[in-house]
Structure 1
Amino acid sequence: MSLLAQEKVRLSLVKYGQAEGLSSYNIRQILQDKKGFLWVASQDGLAKFDGKTFISYTKQSPPKYQISGADVREIIEDTISNSLWVLPNRDRLDIINVLNGEVIRHIPIPPYAIEDWNITMTSSGNNLWIGSFCGLKILDTKKWKFITVPRIQYAKRQPAGTFEVNCIGRDNLNNLWVCYTGYGIVIYNYKTLKIIREVKLNELGDYLGNGNIRFNDFAQTGNNTMLFATSQGLKKITYDRNYALNINNSPVNKVGLLNYNAVNALQITNANEILISGNNHLYRFDIALNNHVIYDESLGEAESKWINYVQSIYKKGNKIWLGCQQGIAMMKTVNSPFSKYYYDEHTGNKLEHLRSICVLPSKNILCGLSSGLTMVNHTNNRFVILDTLHLYHHIFADKNKQVFLCRDDGMYVLKKQLITPLTDIYPEFKSFSTYTINSHVFLADSLVAMGTENDNGILIWNYKQHYVRKIDIHSRPALASNSVNNIYLDKKGQLWVLSDKVITVINKDFSSTRRLNLAINKQHAKIDLFFDMCESAGSYWVASYGNGIVEINDRLKVKKFIGLQDGLCNEGVYNVFNIGDSSLLITSNNGLSIYNIKQNKFKNYYSEDGLHSNAFEEVSAIIDQDQIYAGGINGFTKIDFAKLAINKVPPVFYYKNVDVKLGNGNNIVNTYLNNKNITIPSNWLQTSISFAGLNFDDPKRVTYKYRIMEIDTNWISNGYRDLINIIGLPPNTYTIEASAANEDGYWSASKTLVLKIKPKWFETWWFKIGVACLIIIGLSVFYQYRIKQIEIQQRIRREIANDLHDDLGSNLNSIKIFTHLAMENEHNSSYLQELENLVGGMLIGLRDMLWVLDDSNDTIESLTERIKKFAMPIAEASQIMFSCNSEQGNTMISKTEKRNLFLIMKEAINNSFKYAHCSSLKVTLISDKLNKISITIEDDGIGFTTDNQPYGYGLNNIKYRATQIKYSCRFLSAPGKGTRIIIGKI
């Protein structure tokens, strides 16, 4: 490739400084690891960069990111061990695990002297060659021990620290070229470490004569050619296998260009080109160093030229990174479609609020501003101010190379940078001398149609026949509106007049017009503010400010509306251009959009992509051959749409961080890039998973999608957000699948991450089995309890049935007998009296049984009241003083207890009434705090002897019933002392 000598190429840089999160300026070195992350060595430390975020490694960083020194001079990647070797200027070598970004080891570096600072580093086999202020050190990375370095000739004659090593190169034979400041170059055999050849300083052309040439960088430009960047220009050395050297100390054939000036950095870009930083410029040379171009940076007024202070150059793939004094910068390469123009650093002139633009036949660019006229020289990019007083709405040139200026006070002609009123040359314009023109189209060789800015319709001017015709709402043909924003000539020869509210289409011979009112639908206001249009793919595409783009078919019917929801960067659109009959280029109030008509996809560009700004202006863009010039605030951008390439390389996708927040306030953070399985403790609250989609071309517009395969069948769009939060998933194993897409929608291969969420103790299988067992046991116990209760109820029913059989049965039998006797002996009333007594007894027995069965009476209080009802009538009839009291009467008792206690007390009271001949009877029922019940039945009757005397039927029955309900029974009595019966719960 032959390059034009001294050609200047304007380019844009993507810059990252401290404002973007880089911890330090003054960049020493840049390296991209095998995973795709960028590492930046600077004066303040080290930084890891993924296109969006910087992670700093300094002496003050957290332990896992803490390195041993501030000023990092060199970084080398060991791809076999997935390590990064970091060389700060003092004390130690730091080793970083590339997979998780953590510092894993520090290797002490022995100094030659107190002020021995480390400067450079190169790897060769198992050895690490380190250059310092005081000489060379070699580290065996297998044994992690430093080995003895062969002493160079005359070293013993020099004071310590004289031979600084600040550059070490490796040639195509793997031998090492160690550059000693103040001495020269020493070539070492990489295996034996023996010196092969020494190149003394006097052989390297000490132009300054100070005996001190500093070596800054090197590059191997051919199989047997080494190029060195030094403080005294470039040094080119060729060699053979025996290291016979040919030294060229002036390899650049441009005297004074680089030969005597400091050269900072070198980088081979491909087989035929080399980038060189020096003399406050960045050059691109051919490999023979004969021809070159100078890269010039497109700037705004407040910007400084980073490209003039490049200290290191790094190339990986198609990316070129520059380490500058202000930060790091990525070159948008010479194939960038954008060149911005705003500020002339030589004159200080600026392009403030550009309103119109025209490319002159000379290729100079004429810029109409809101307050002036400026011409940009296309060869040196200098700005020439022609006027500073007027607003220039429109500029155009005819086929005769005449340049017409449309100002706010009328039309003028530009000749040899002189501005002349149009009427001085074309008197036919005297009637229209105050008209302001905002647009034009050529209808024929000498016929031009012009739109007016001040609601005067359009003018048709034949500048050869010298007449001007006005077309407005009153003429024939007539316009639908006198307001004109732009005019357009379609392929059929029809003239479209774009107004605020309506579009007028004038046929080819100007015999008729058609009026177009465009509306989204009946529920919306009419589409208005029509600023521009074009034809593409068989349709008309109209820019409607505030509404986006309207597609109209060849029958002038609306097909569709394109806006923000489709991906348009902003609906405040100004100009629209047809690109290759397959795409549209659209300028707007916030960015530039490229619309692929077939794919119905947008790609948007902004100031960070190289535009002059995000804000364009109405009717301030033109197309000239294969380039578009679009202006607005802060100048204009030249767009080479042939270079608007699609990025088909998808991002490199990783799961960057998995941050698990625990219930105890702690966090578990995993940053291992190759992670495929993560175990989440049972006490987790939230899991945050962050992604990295490495795409340095356009990192801000990387999009993400994901799904949890056990939950979602469809992908979930995460937009530009590189983080998902997971909350509340039940314990299980989940597979996260995620992917990233670049700005053109090309997706990376999806990657999976398995999350194993541990269950809480009450969610474990053994707990669930234990609960199931407890439920089964509980049901079994309940079942057994219910069976027992049923058996008890059956027993009660059986006992009641027996009582009914014994009591009622005998009574019924007696009733039968007495009834028979009464029938035989009608005059014996005693039989009837017996019948009455028997029936009354039966009724009392039935009431007692019903009372026992009533659930509401299962308390001590109810039992007390029942005894009172039974005993009081008998006591009164027998003139016996009777009392019955209870304490804690609300104590519950079972039906068995209730029945037996009632029968016991009934039996005891009957015995006292019948046999004791008592005058008083007292019954006391007590329930203590433990619900233990005791009953005392006490009379003052005749008593009886209890010693070794068999009890009668009644007392035995009382004792039997007590034992049935697990109560104790004691009889306390003596002749003449009364009787006390004590019943108590055991």
Structure 2
Amino acid sequence: MKYILLIILLVSHLFVLSQKYNFRYYGADEGLPQQSVLSILSDREGILHLGTQGGFSRFDGKKFTNLSQKDGLNSNHVTSIYQDIEGDFWLGHRYDAPTFVSGDSIKALTGGWSDSIRSSTWGITRCLDKMWFVTEKEGLFFYDINSDKVLPFKDDKLKDLTVTTLLTVDDRLYIGTNKGVFYRQDGALEKLTNSKIDNLKILSIKPDKSNKSILYFLTTNKLIKAEVSKNDLSSIEVVFSQNQTNLTSWKDFVVVDKNEFWIYSQEGAIHLKDSVSSTYTLKNGLGMNHVESMEVDREGNVWFGLFGQGLYQLLGEDFLQIDSSIGLIDDKVTGISAFKNEVWVTTEGGVSRIFYQTEKRVKIERIKNYTSRDKLIENEVFAVVNNSRGDFLLSSMNGVVYYDRGRDKFNQFSSSKYGLTTFNITVEIDDDDNIWLGSLGNGASKFRINEQGLPADVEIFNAKNGFFSDEIWKVFNDSKGRIWFGSNDQGLAKYEKGDFKYFGVEEGLTNERPGSITEDINGNIWLGTIGGGVFKYDGTSFVNYTSDDGIQADNPYFVAADDLGNIWIGSNRGVDRLNVDTEQIDFFGKSQGFKGVETNQNAFFKDNNGTMWFGTIDGVMQCFPQRIKPSKTPPLIFIEGVRIYLMKKELTEGVLLEYNENHITFDFNGIHYGSPDDVEFSFKLEGFDDVWSPVTKENAATYSNLPPGDYTFFVKAKNRSGVWSEPAEFSVRISPPFWETWWFQTFVFVALICIVFIVFRFRTRKLRKQRELLKKLVNQRTLELKEEKDKVELFNLKLSSQNELLAIKNKDITDSIRYAERIQNGMLPGDKEIAEILPQSFVLYLPRDIVSGDFYWCTKKDDITCFAAIDCTGHGVPGAFMSLIGNDLLNQVANNPELDNTGKLLATMHVKLKKYFLREGGTNVNDGMDMAICAIKPSNILEFSGAKRPLYLVRDNEVHIFKGDRYSIGESFEEDVAFTTNEISLVKGDMIYIFSDGYQDQFGGGNGKKFMVKQLRNLLIEISDKPLEKQKQILLDTFNNWKGTHEQVDDILIWGVRI
């Protein structure tokens, strides 16, 4: 017996069901002071006010601003709320007198009030100069505003009757009782007569929104519409009666318009629209059945005040939820398909078959569930599809289940038995009734169902037989009969008329992992890729949409097309709606009514009515695209306060601020209850800003260091649909400091004139005295200057004769140096000699003075060519003398056959130079020379030795540096000094550079810095492939440009040789 019951529970659950509506809940955690919401009022501006057992609350969609008995209310139990024509609030309490709230002022009505009203106040209204109150036990009271008195209302016509409700329309007070309706006008009380309503208990009276002569009456079991004449009721019409619903204990109702009403009770709420009723209870999403209060706000949002369960907001009927709480076998939905009035839903725990009917609304009749215990190969089913006959295919890990509608029979096709692929996560039926399976790991398979209801003509498509991929996420049959395959690794494939065509990066599909495929109403193919966003293919090219364009995720779980030209994109956050034509993207998550939130891969279906069915991890979400309308109601916008230097100030419009109160923050708020988190703002400060600010969600704007002047702050808000409010504004004036006021500046101007006049008179008198004294001084100084002039003339005569003598001596010295120059030039190799010895070379030689401490030397002996660049200590005449000595020593040592390498040659020169400078007493001097010497030998071998000077070899635009030894020739070292001989293999086209340090040490450029060796090295690399004369000219021009107006600091010598 146990097993029979278990099978019945698992397989054949039949329910009378309704989908879950989408509610947003507000409770204590959100700031509601107490969970029982006894009254709700949407005030004249459209702001919600709530009465709870914890006080009076203002709610702006995000936060509750609460007042309680501690703040001055007569009681925390607020049973009724009324707003008068001045915008002030009257609060009715349980067992206490009312409270009057005007702005920030709270007045607990005491005295005669407490003596008169000691029970709960259920209704409040104002008629002319009187406030009227319905109480639970004391009956009807009124408060005369002119006399400031509260009195019970007594009239024999109300004797033995219980007053239940009040309403004021055009200075006429309507009074509902347990036996009909009365009205009071011009001080007289009369009964509205009509036999159909005379003896009914009236629970509530509400006016028609567009016709004041029509009233609606809620009785204990009927909602009645009637036309009011002077003293009777006519055209009585029963709009709704209790025998049409199972909800009793009616409490009150709300009029939306002449065709739409809400009735609420302790068993739930009834929505009546166009004569079709729907019930809202705990079963379909409401927090509890006991509805204590209701309101419909200016946007059309419906609010439910529950007894002990907080505040609920109905988020419309755009999305409805079907989950395990109403019979779905498992909440993790993997696939959906539909035929006529039944929807098949595959999940990780089995398959649910939903039977529903559609008249004016979609209503679920029952759900039947299937598992592996009776019909399925395994519980986890990946996908479902059906053909035009209503046969369904269910794909899973190890095969396919085929539901044959004609035979009402389930057939199991295991993969191993019939040769089908395994791990079949997608299934599709083409126009020829062929069935296609897509597998993650085994490619695709194709077969048909034969007359016996078994698989036939099985074909396998995988990498082994040339198919483009073994990893298939989605198979899709488009409106033209083409089959599309989305793979996990190889892009997209299209099967048409027996041929495959592939799409990848080369064709514009930059992400080759399309996991979902659909087709829009224009015939475009849409792909949801893994990591690359969404692609649209119009037959010629791909267009990509990513999170940068506004979609929620670059890893969409599905793409689905509706009948209105939208693409729905599922993600882990909800769904995006992308309009194909405008490319506008709207997001729907939990706050927008999509309670399932995270969708599942390829779990979607569009039925023949245009309804979208989305699979999520929390059941199925029905979506009705045609119901989703943009909100045309702009947000309410308020400037809530002004802060000066971040400190809140109570300021009035047009306030005058001091000049140093110029750091201003404007706090503002936009109220849109439908999507409170999507309200955005733009603002500007007229007098400071020229344009409106960029759109932002920040609700404060700060301006600092504002100059004195008049300013008006404007702020506007827009809702989720882009509808903007009219701007709110607040004006301030910042006064100038006293020193910038006209009166102070006038005073200063006059004072300055007076001061200038006084100073002028004083200075004039003083100047007269100084002029007389100066005259005396001038005469005295004139005499002294004459004496001094005579002395200077005598001195100048002597100085002139000395200058003539110096000029003669200077000319003699210059002539001697010029002669030394000719001697030095005669010592240096001439151009002809260099051309014979080193025809492919140039020498850049620029002495700092007339004669130079730098010199160059070359010789050729047998088949060895030697050349050197020498930098002697000092420059000018001392350097020139040193160069003569160096040249003489070079010629001596170069002819010594024992000196067979350049290192020995430098060592010998070092010894000879030390001996040359040896003086009596054995004292050495530190004069010497830096040298780079090269010897080119047969077979293109170059020997190089250097005394503090390097050699640069440039080959193929790359420099090779050979450094010299770290001591100079003739320095005060021991005589036994060894210099390194570097042997270098040369290649034709190599450039050899040896040089002194004068070029790199030259100051110049924009900042007066040294040229530096790095810059010289880069310059030599750059010019190395140019003709030699061109290289020399570039070096010369570069040097002169760098030096500019600076003096030359040293002698310049660069020798370049091309091999």
**TM tier relative to shorter chain:** 0.5 to 0.7
Counterpart Cα distance in 1 of 2:532 and 2:43: 46
1:455 aligned residue: 441
Mapped to 2, the partners of 1:563 and 1:268 lie a distance apart of 45
Matches of 1:291 and 1:699, distance apart in 2? 30
1:318 aligns with 2:318: no
How far 1:526 sits from its partner (Å)?
4.7
Give the distance between the partners of 1:784 and 1:480, measured in 2 at CA.
106
Cα distance in 2 for partners of 1:226, 1:30 equals 19
Alpha carbons 1:647, 1:743 under 8 Å: kept: yes
Indicate which of 333, 342, 367 corresponds to 1:354.
Answer: 333
Aligned residue in 1 for 2:89: 84
Relative to structure 1, the CA distance from residue 421 to residue 50 in structure 2 (aligned partners, 3 Å threshold; closer, same or farther) is same
Hey, what's the Cα distance between the residues in 1 that align with 2:75 and 2:95? 6
- Alpha-carbon deviation of 1:393? 0.8
Please point out which of 105, 119, 126 is paired with 1:123.
Answer: 126
5 Å matches for 1:777-788?
none
Tell me, yes or no, if structure 1 residue 72 matches structure 2 residue 78: yes
Contact kept, 8 Å, 1:218 with 1:229, in 2: the verdict is: no
| Cα deviation 1:759-792 (Å, max 9, x = unaligned) | 3455555566667778888888888898888778
Change (3 A) 1:812 1:143: same
Is this contact kept in 1: 2:227–2:236, CA < 8 A? Answer: no
Equivalent position of 2:393 in the other structure: 404
Which structure 2 residues correspond to residues 291-310 of structure 1 after superposition, within 5 A? 292-295=277-280, 305-306=287-288, 309-310=291-292
Gapped runs of 5+ residues in structure 1? 1-5, 206-212, 814-986
Check if 1:630 corresponds to 2:590: no
1:589 aligns with 2:563: no
Q: Does 1:485 align with 2:464?
A: no
- The Cα of 1:714 is off from its aligned counterpart by 3.5
- The equivalent residue for 1:15 is 25
Out of 698, 717, 723, the position equivalent to 1:721 is: 698
Q: Give, in whole Å, the separation in 2 of the partners of 1:811 and 1:473.
A: 116
- The answer as to whether partners of 1:485 and 1:499 remain within 8 angstroms in 2 is yes
TM-fit CA distance, 1:704: 1.2
Structure 2 letter corresponding to 1:318: G
Match of 2:532 in 1: 547
Give the count of matched residue pairs: 751
Specify every segment of 5 or more residues in structure 2 that has no aligned partner in the other structure, as ranges.
Answer: 1-15, 357-362, 373-377, 791-1059
Q: Which residue of 2 aligns with 1:514?
A: 502
Return the offset for 1:258. Answer: 6.5
From 458, 472, 479, give the equivalent of 2:462. 472
Shift of 1:77: 2.3
Please give the alpha-carbon distance, in whole angstroms, between the structure 1 residues aligned to 2:471 and 2:612.
Answer: 27
Task: Please report how far the alpha carbon of residue 352 of structure 1 lies from its aligned counterpart in structure 2 after TM superposition.
Answer: 2.6
Distance in structure 1 (CA, Å) of the matches to 2:620 and 2:681: 33
Aligned partners of 2:124 and 2:132 also within 8 Å: yes
Q: CA offsets per residue over residues 178-214 of structure 1, 9 Å max, x none? A: 437xxx56735233144648999x9858xxxxxxx8x
Shift of 1:739: 2.0
Corresponding residue of 2:602: 619
5 Å-filtered alignment, 1:696-711, equals 696-711=673-688
Per-residue deviation, residues 779-822 of structure 1 (Å, max 9, x unmatched):
88888898888778766644433545789999999xxxxxxxxx
Q: 1:798 to 1:493 in 2, by over 3 A?
A: farther
Secondary structure, counterpart of 1:277 in structure 2? strand
* Distance change (3 Å), C-alpha of 1:748 and 1:228: closer
SS of residue matched to 1:706: strand
Match in the other structure for 2:963:
none
Q: Deviations over 1:613-661 (max 9, x none)?
A: 3211111112222111111221120111122222233323x33212223
1:372 aligns with 2:370: no
Tell me which of 630, 636, 650 is aligned to 1:646.
Answer: 630
The aligned counterpart of 1:145 is: 149
CA-CA distance at 1:484 after TM superposition: 0.8
Residues 1:423 and 2:413 are matched in the alignment? yes
Once residues 643 and 765 of structure 2 are traced to their aligned partners in structure 1, the CA distance between those partners, rounded to angstroms, is 54
Q: For 1:524-923, what aligned pairs fall within 5 Å after superposition?
A: 526=511, 528-535=513-520, 537=522, 539-555=524-540, 557-559=541-543, 561-580=544-563, 582-625=565-608, 626-652=610-636, 654-662=637-645, 667-670=648-651, 675=653, 677-684=654-661, 686-761=663-738, 764=741, 797-804=774-781
TM-score normalised by the chain length of structure 1: 0.67
Contact map agreement 2:556 2:569 (CA 8 A) in 1? yes
Distance, in Å, in 1 between the alignment partners of 2:352 and 2:789 is 136
**Partner Cα separation in structure 2 for residue 701 and residue 237 of structure 1:** 39
Contact 1:490 1:535 (C-alpha < 8 Å) held by counterparts? no
* Partner Cα distance (2:227, 2:638) in 1: 48
Residues 1:274 and 1:649: Cα distance change in structure 2 (over 3 Å): closer
Cα distance in 2 between the residues matched to 1:552 and 1:241: 66
C-alpha distance in structure 2 between counterparts of 1:15 and 1:771, whole Å = 67
Q: Which amino acid aligns with 2:53?
A: Q
Whether the 8 Å CA contact 2:73–2:107 is kept in 1: the answer is: no
SS of the residue aligned with 2:70?
coil
Equivalent pair of 1:678/1:753 in contact (CA under 8 Å) = no
- For 1:135, give the aligned amino acid: G
Q: Report % sequence identity.
A: 15
Distance 1:772 1:11 in 2: 77
Corresponding position: 1:498 with 2:480: no
Separation in 2, partners of 1:236, 1:304: 27
> How many Å apart are 1:611 and its aligned residue?
1.3
Q: Which amino acid aligns with 1:269?
A: V
Asked whether the equivalents of residues 574 and 616 of structure 1 are also in contact (C-alpha less than 8 Å), the reply is: yes
**In 2, Cα distance between equivalents of 1:789 and 1:328:** 91
Distance 1:784 1:245, change over 3 A: closer
Q: Deviations over 1:703-747 (max 9, x none)?
A: 111223444434322422222222222222233333221112222
Q: Which residue of 2 aligns with 1:103?
A: 105
* Cα distance in 2, alignment partners of residues 572 and 584 from structure 1: 15
Relative to 1, partners in 2 of residues 1:456 and 1:439: Cα closer, same or farther, differing over 3 Å?
A: same
Question: Corresponding residue for 1:281?
Answer: 268
1:688 match: secondary structure? strand
Partner of residue 442, structure 1: 429
Asked if structure 2 preserves the Cα contact closer than 8 Å seen for 1:344 and 1:350, the reply is: no
Does structure 1 residue 340 correspond to structure 2 residue 321?
yes
Q: What is the root-mean-square deviation in Å for CA atoms of aligned residues?
A: 4.4
Name the structure 2 match of 1:329.
Answer: 312
- Judging changes above 3 Å, is the alpha-carbon distance between structure 1 residues 360 and 344 closer, same or farther for their aligned structure 2 residues? farther
Cα deviation code 1:407-453 (max 9, x no counterpart): 223212346999955338xxx9834356122223332232232211x
Counterpart residue type for residue 629 of structure 2:
A
Distance change (3 Å), C-alpha of 1:438 and 1:773: farther
Provide Cα deviations, 1:28-80, integer angstroms capped at 9, x if missing partner. Answer: 2222222221222222222222222322122334xxxx54432222222223x
Letter of the 1:471 counterpart: F
Give the Cα–Cα distance (whole angstroms) in 1 for the partners of residues 381 and 343 of structure 2: 14
Q: Secondary structure at the match of 1:11?
A: coil
User: Quick one: distance in 2 between partners of 1:292 and 1:151?
Assistant: 40
Which residue number in structure 1 is paired with residue 65 of structure 2? Answer: 55
The CA deviation at 1:602 is 1.4
In 2, the alpha carbon distance for the partners of 1:480 and 1:726 equals 62
How far apart are the structure 1 equivalents of 2:758 and 2:588? Answer: 76
Which residue identity lines up with residue 690 of structure 1 in the other structure?
D
Is the alpha carbon distance of 1:549 and 1:245 closer, same or farther for their aligned partners in structure 2, counting shifts above 3 Å? closer
Question: Residue type of the partner of 2:720?
Answer: E
**What's the secondary structure of 2:76's corresponding residue?**
coil
Shift of 1:171: 7.6
Q: Secondary structure, in 3 states, of the residue corresponding to 1:747?
A: coil
Q: 1:547 to 1:732 in 2, by over 3 A?
A: farther
Distance 1:539 1:494 in 2: 13
**1:141 positional shift:** 2.9
Contact kept? 1:449, 1:459, Cα under 8 Å:
yes
8 Å CA contact retained: 1:411, 1:435: no
Distance 1:769 1:387, change over 3 A: farther
- Aligned position for 1:850: none
